[in-house]
Amino acid sequence: MIKSLIKKLILDGAEKAFEQGLLPSKSFPEMEIEQPRHASHGDLSTNFAMVSASVQKMAPRKIAQAVISAMDDKEKIIEKTEIAGPGFINFFLEKKAWHQVIDKIHSEKDRFGSTDVGKGKKVQVEFVSANPTGPLHVGHGRGAAVGDAIGNILGFAGFDVQKEYYINDSGRQIRTLGLSVWLRLRELNGEAVDFPDDCYKGSYIKDIAAALNTLKGADILEKDEEEAVLDCAGFAAEDILTGIKEDLSRFGVSFDNWFREQTLFDSGRITEVVEDFRKKGIIYEKDGALWFRTEQYGDEKDRVVVRNNGLTTYFASDIAYHMEKFDRGFARVIDVWGADHHGYIQRINASIEASGRSSAQFDVILVQLVNLLRGGRPVAMSTRAGEFVTLRDIVDEVGKDAARFLFLSRSYDSGLDFDLELARQKTSENPVYYVQYVHARISSIVAKAREEKMAPDSPLEWTGSVSGLVEPEEMNLLKILASFPEQVEKSAATLHPHVVFTYLMKLASAFHGYYNKHKVLTQDYDLTLARLGLVSAVKTVIRNGLDLLGVSAPETM
RNA sequence: GCGCCCGUAGCCGAGUGGAUAAGGCGUCAGCCUCCGAAGCUGAAGACCGCUGGUUCGAUUCCAGCCGGGCGCACCA
């Protein structure tokens, strides 16, 4: 908000400078306004003069001079300006310019930080979408944390967001699941079976078989293989899916929609798309299979959509699924995938282009792999042998908050070491407590103030004396608070939740420093009110930020 | 071989064209009769993988190389 004020001052100034003949051109390129790294460079700084140099055909410092001389600071929020270095215009603001933010935070409360840059545009974020063939593991956890946070952040930035989970409930892996359960079921009934290598070996398969056995074991044993396997598959998939939903909900992740692959078959959507593409000539036949000319759209080679046995591939479903998404009216579709699926992007892009849409409406977020460690040593994981640490195990061991915060602590572009021992520690090594501690500390201060009747109850009554906030640490906090909305915007624009994480760490650090240096509750009534107004604003922003990441903000710890 | 991601202090890492490269861990020296020490203050530690290019300006963009991770099925 302060930035936009400054921006307007600059543009108005430039306009006026042009009218006065100080500037030759009326065209003003996009400028950056940012908080300089060093306080000696002012509160805010712009590169306006530098980016205008080529348009104005003038030296940046001269442009800066012209703009400053024509600027009209009616509200007197600028203490002074200076031209620095190659042509930066540095602004030193009056303290009152920063004081306003407290009022704003207390009136907007849990909406502070939200913006309308999204303009209500419909966006779908699809994430996790793990096959219902086994429990969720760490990698799914990272994807869940990232997808959920991105959804929250986009929503806060004014997009109309739907979170969706795609269930692969048909196809070969589901049959394999059914077969695995069927074999275990027969084992339970005393039969000696040969358990194939490509079947699922996890102990959860035995649990499912046992449950199914008591339910209707005898029934299934009577059926022939095909039917029995199908029965087992249906039961197992639903059972696992129920578990997945539970795990996700305990992880604090909820979806607006669960979409089943099977519906694409039932509605005829898949054959429809294949037929459509065939008519358009982008699908051809070779070796008894149908191929999609994805190479024409930049893929390495063409891909099969219908196998020579007549069955459609997973890719065919996915084409239909993405068509379906756009048909549902989403202007923008975002998929969150594990990085090992990156080779798939070209293909989906191809199908979107082929259907006459722009692949610019489609984003894939590739989440790099997670290395699970315990005390610095890798945790052995083998899906094949059915030995792995599940997301549920992790939530049980380290808690939802610590897990989510760690998953979002750095960019998903890099691999992540997740150390269970570290995540469990309630020490400074664990950033989640560092931030939550701020919230709890402030709660405690506010509670004490109320108990001892040091201030009126409503925060709205605290802001009258904000002018008492003059300490450098207070000004620093105010500036950080004021930048929250733009950090949310940046996070939304780049689809990177760790921007919010980094912001929260910065705010928390500034608060802890302030807390150690200055008392909030003092003998001076007005000063106490002002500081209560400040710290409770910090509390609100910490909570709003943690909310976006799906981490709780406790009153006590 | 081809494709995607990564390469910033002993370690983990922020920084998507700007002025003196965040922060954390670890190391060293300090701070609790006082609002929560899960906290704070200070010190030491960086040819931002290498070589070129674009630019007034490159850790940031481009190219090539080196190193690491992950993929390259009529599997999902």
Q: What is the pLDDT of residues A309-346, one digit of tens each?
A: 999 999 999 999 999 999 999 999 999 999 999 999 99
In angstroms, the CA A187 to CA A220 distance is 13
The answer to whether some atom of strand B lies closer than 7 Å to the beta carbon of A45 is yes
Residue A326: how many CB atoms within 10 A of its CB?
17
Q: In angstroms, how far is B58 C1' from A444 CA?
A: 47
Residue with minimal CA–C1' distance to B19 is A85
Across the range A132-143, mean pLDDT stands at 93
Q: Give me the phi and psi of A377, to 5 degrees please.
A: -105, 140
> Any idea which nucleotide's C1' is nearest the CA of A535?
B35
A51 Cβ nearer than 7 Å to chain B strand:
yes
CA distance A22 to A475: 35
In this predicted structure, what is the pLDDT of residue A202?
87
pLDDT at residue A452, rounded to an integer? 85
Average pLDDT over residues A16-38: 87
pLDDT for the residue numbered A427: 67
Q: Which nucleotide comes closest to A286 if you measure CA to C1'?
A: B74
Strand B atom within 7 Å of A368 CB: yes
The pLDDT value recorded for residue A457 is 76
Calculate mean pLDDT across residues A443-455.
89
The ipTM is: 0.95
> Nearest residue to B18, CA vs C1'?
A47
Nearest nucleotide (C1') to alpha carbon of A521:
B35
Specify the higher pLDDT residue, A198 or A208.
Answer: A208
> A376-414, pLDDT tens digit by residue?
778 876 655 556 789 999 999 999 999 999 999 999 999
More confident site: A278 or A34: A278
Q: Using alpha carbons, select from A532, A458, A507, A533 the residue that is nearest to residue A104.
A: A533
% of chain A at pLDDT higher than 70: 98
Tell me, what's the pLDDT at A53? 83
DSSP single-letter state for residue A40: G
CB A366 within 8 A of CB A496: no
* Lookup: nucleotide whose C1' is closest to A38 CA: B20
- Euclidean distance between CA atoms A331 and A319, whole angstroms: 17
CA of A514 to C1' of B31 (A): 14
As a rounded value in angstroms, the CA-to-C1' distance for A115 and B47 is: 43
pTM of the model: 0.94
Residue A535 to residue A513: CA distance in whole angstroms: 12
What value does the mean pLDDT of chain A take?
92
Which nucleotide is nearest to A60 if distance is taken from CA to C1'? B56
Q: Is the pLDDT of residue A470 over 80?
A: yes
- CA/C1' separation A366–B3 (Å): 14
Find the nucleotide nearest A344 (Cα to C1′).
B71
pLDDT of the residue at A388 = 74
pLDDT of res. A381: 66
Asked if A298 CB < 7 A from strand B, the reply is no
Nucleotide in closest CA–C1' contact with A308:
B74
pLDDT at A106: 93
What pLDDT score does A428 carry?
Answer: 62
Is A30's pLDDT higher than 90? no
Nearest nt (C1') to A517 (CA)? B40
pLDDT digits (tens, 9 = 90+) for A243-276: 999 999 999 999 999 999 999 999 999 999 999 9
Q: Where in A52-178 does DSSP place strands (E)?
A: 78-84, 88-93, 122-126, 160-167
Which of the nucleotides lies closest to A495 (Cα–C1')? B16
Is the distance between the Cβ of A30 and the closest atom of strand B smaller than 7 Å? no
Protein-to-nucleotide distance from the CA of A367 to the C1' of B39, whole angstroms: 34
Residues 377-416 of A with CB under 7 A from strand B: 410-411, 413-416
B69 closest protein residue (CA to C1'): A415
Return the closest nucleotide (C1') to the Cα of A416. B12
**For A468 and B30, how far is CA from C1' in angstroms?**
31
Tokens of A144: 């869940």
Query: Tell me, in Å, how far CA of A501 is from C1' of B39?
Result: 19
Does the pLDDT of residue A494 top 80, yes or no? yes
Nucleic strand B near CB of residue A285 (< 7 Å): no
The strand pairing partners of A162, in sequence order, are: A124
Strand partners, A449: none
Tokens representing A378 are 């890798």
For residue A173, give the nucleotide whose C1' atom is nearest its CA.
B76
Q: Are A400 and A373 in contact (CB under 8 A)?
A: no
Name which of A36-50, A118-132, A520-534 the model is least confident about.
Answer: A36-50
Q: Is the separation of the CB atoms in A439 and A553 below 8 Å?
A: yes
A365: Cβ under 7 Å from strand B? no
CA of A147 to C1' of B47 (A): 39
Do the beta carbons of residue A546 and residue A442 sit within 8 Å?
Answer: no
**Rounded to an integer, what distance in angstroms lies between the CA atom of residue A95 and that of residue A83?**
21
- Name every residue whose Cβ is closer than 8 Å to that of residue A262 and which is 6 or more positions away in sequence: A169, A170
Q: Which nucleotides of B are covered by protein (CB under 7 A)?
A: 2-7, 12-16, 18-26, 31, 34-41, 56, 68-76
**Distance between CA atoms of residues A511 and A27, nearest Å:** 42
Give pLDDT, residue A352: 94
Nearest-angstrom CA–CA distance, A550 and A177: 33
Q: Say which amino acid occupies A248.
A: L
Q: Using pLDDT thresholds of 50, 70 and 90, give the confidence band for residue A57.
A: confident
Element at A338 (helix H, strand E): strand A332-338
Contacts within 8 Å (CB) and 24+ apart, A445-452: A445/A520, A445/A521, A445/A532, A445/A535, A446/A532, A446/A535, A446/A536, A446/A539, A448/A521, A449/A520, A449/A521, A449/A528, A449/A532, A452/A521
User: Chain A, 313-352: which CBs lie within 7 Å of strand B?
Assistant: 313-315, 339-344
How far out from the chain centre does Cα A251 lie? 15
Q: How distant is C1' of B53 from CA of A50, in Å?
A: 23
Ranges A38-42, A378-382, A553-557, most confident: A553-557
- Placement of tokens 């407290």 in the chain: A102
Does residue A19 sit in helix, strand or coil?
helix
List strands edge to edge, sheet with A122-126: A257-260, A160-167, A122-126, A332-338, A362-367
pLDDT tens-digit profile of A108-131? 999 999 999 999 999 999 999 999
Percentage of residues in chain A having pLDDT higher than 90: 77
SS (H, E, C) A235-300: HHHHHHHHHHHHHHHHCCCCCCEEEECHHHHHCCHHHHHHHHHHHCCCEEEECCEEEECHHHHCCC
Residue A96 CB in 7 A reach of strand B: no
Name the nt closest to A432 by C-alpha to C1': B38
